[in-house]
Structure 1
Amino acid sequence: MSVLDKKVALVTGGGQGVGAGIALALAAEGAAVAVLGRNLPSLEATCAEIHRRGGRAEAFVCDVMELEDIESAVQEVVDEFGGIDILINNAQILPLGDILELSEDEYHLGMDSGPLATFRFLKACYPFLRGEGAVVNVASSAAVKADSAGYGAYAAAKEAIRALSRAAACEWGVDNIRVNCIMPLANSPAMASWVESGEDEVADFLETVPLGRVGDCEEDIGRVVVFLCSADSAYITGHTIPVDGGQALLR
């Protein structure tokens, strides 16, 4: 048996990058995966790859910044699969730029797509997660970098997600719901394009990673998420795990 047989996983932002990698990894271990996002063709592409490998997945169009979309999507997933055992909050709009350059609208996009969406999904999925539920929220090491210039709003959103995750872990331990975060350094489409560009900064950046490479979305990031959703991590909750080749130093 695979470690996630008979489990149902909901993954936001599952159409590409980290979300797609996590969806593929969960499906490879037997989970039925609900792939959520705004772009149906990309969601269907992730599902098609899961189907090609013999897994089960369905696409659900959902704008994570809309409460009605979230509530409807959660109910649709439950109707389709019979429940939800695993919640992966991955979707996030990146509000990048110096503080003096960013508008309030850009700041709010980061907050609405990140911590507010996470807050809403936690509440919407809670009734179905009780018993043996697992939540993995995607954070970032942006807030713990030595130089976080240009990342202030993004880091603020991701640190808010970490705070919510810790609170949910403490409040829901009695319900046997585990909530953890990961901080991935992942070979997303944007990152892959930059690394492959061969710019001078790429080599300097990779020198900050002890393992010397950017993580694969499925094999490096997704496999850690599988672990955090499996019985092998049954005594881990409320923590943040860097999945970044050793780049971040958490204190």
Structure 2
Amino acid sequence: MPSLRGKVAIITGGSKGTGLGIAKAYVKEGISVTITGRGKEALDAAQMELEQLVPNARILTVVADNKDHQAANQVVAETVKAFGQLDILINNAQEFRTGKLITEISDDDMESTFESGFFAIWRFMTAAYPYLKETQGTVINMSSGAGVQSIPRHGAYGPNKEAIRGLTRIAAKEWGPDSVTVNSISPYVASAESVRYEKAHPEIIAEIMKGVALGHIGDAELNVGSLCVYLASEGGHYMTGGNFDVDGGSSIRP
């Protein structure tokens, strides 16, 4: 989309999985991207993959842990310094602590889940807002069907994702007068993490797949990345406060 060329996006957790899929879709549209991750090796590999995909892509990598309270300010500041503006914030990074019953969840499980997810997203949104207000920008937060569907053994992860959806809706109302859109996406797409989880908990995945109407897991770039492209475009800028289920129909409701 010509309207996206020259825009600048931050994608947390952009070195793999859903985040990398979004980054691929964005660089193809001429969007400059900052991708974050906890490991430099993974970030370097992602940058190489993106540059092979789009040789002239403008990419900044920043090693950052979402649980670090200074990470949001650091990433936003480095992005604006490198590219001069900020148009899109994709909050994707999240620790994935699942597989335990509620009575088995530790304080560290709960704290790490919310610190890397809900609280980090709040910090990134707060740090990015002044720049997004200038560009009438876009925020997209990654939620999950784990909360909506009340999936067992997701007692920390699911409520955290539901809190993210609540924050998204309130921000959409508060920031609407500034023409900043805020939406969330609940994806079910393939990633290294989904493969690991499938191997560790095949019985849970088998149960989840029973409810996927299309019968297969989605693709990060094709299914989530393309939606993120649209939501950041002029055409998608009249949609705010919504949650988009990119999950093959597993969240179909009456």
Q: TM-score, normalised by structure 2?
A: 0.92
Asked if 2 retains the 8 angstrom alpha-carbon contact of 1:137 and 1:161, the reply is: yes
CA drift of 1:177 comes to 0.3
Aligned to 1:81: 83
CA RMSD of aligned residues (A): 1.9
Q: Work out the CA distance in 2 between the residues paired with 1:62 and 1:177.
A: 25
What amino acid sits opposite 1:88 in the alignment?
I
Aligned to 1:118: 121
Aligned to 2:51: 51
SS of aligned partner of 1:223: helix
CA drift of 1:206 comes to 3.2
The 1:71/1:201 distance shift into structure 2, 3 A limit, reads: closer
CA drift of 1:120 comes to 0.3
What amino acid sits opposite 1:206 in the alignment?
M
Aligned to 1:134: 138
SS of aligned partner of 1:65: coil
CA drift of 1:190 comes to 2.9
Could you list the structure 1 runs, at least 4 aligned residues long, displaced by more than 4 angstroms after superposition: 193-197, 199-205
**Pair 1:228-2:228 in alignment:** no
Query: How big is each residue's C-alpha offset from its partner over 1:158-216, in whole Å with a ceiling of 9 and x where there is no partner?
Result: 0111111111100000111000000000101132456699x687666434211121011
CA drift of 1:95 comes to 2.3
**Pair 1:217-2:225 in alignment:** no
Q: Work out the CA distance in 2 between the residues paired with 1:194 and 1:88.
A: 23
Q: Which runs of 5+ in 2 are unaligned?
A: none
Q: 1:90 aligns with which of 86, 89, 92?
A: 92
SS of aligned partner of 2:11: strand
Q: Which sits farther off after the overlay, 18-27 or 115-124?
A: 18-27
SS of aligned partner of 1:245: coil
Query: How big is each residue's C-alpha offset from its partner over 1:102-135, in whole Å with a ceiling of 9 and x where there is no partner?
Result: 1011100000000100000000000100142000
Asked if 1 retains the 8 angstrom alpha-carbon contact of 2:148 and 2:162, the reply is: no
The 1:38/1:154 distance shift into structure 2, 3 A limit, reads: same
SS of aligned partner of 1:33: strand
What amino acid sits opposite 1:239 in the alignment?
G
What amino acid sits opposite 2:168 in the alignment?
S
The 1:250/1:112 distance shift into structure 2, 3 A limit, reads: farther
Asked if 2 retains the 8 angstrom alpha-carbon contact of 1:144 and 1:250, the reply is: no
SS of aligned partner of 2:89: strand
The 1:63/1:194 distance shift into structure 2, 3 A limit, reads: closer
What amino acid sits opposite 1:50 in the alignment?
L
Q: Which runs of 5+ in 1 are unaligned?
A: none
The 1:149/1:167 distance shift into structure 2, 3 A limit, reads: same
Q: Work out the CA distance in 2 between the residues paired with 1:164 and 1:143.
A: 14
**Pair 1:171-2:174 in alignment:** yes
What amino acid sits opposite 2:95 in the alignment?
I
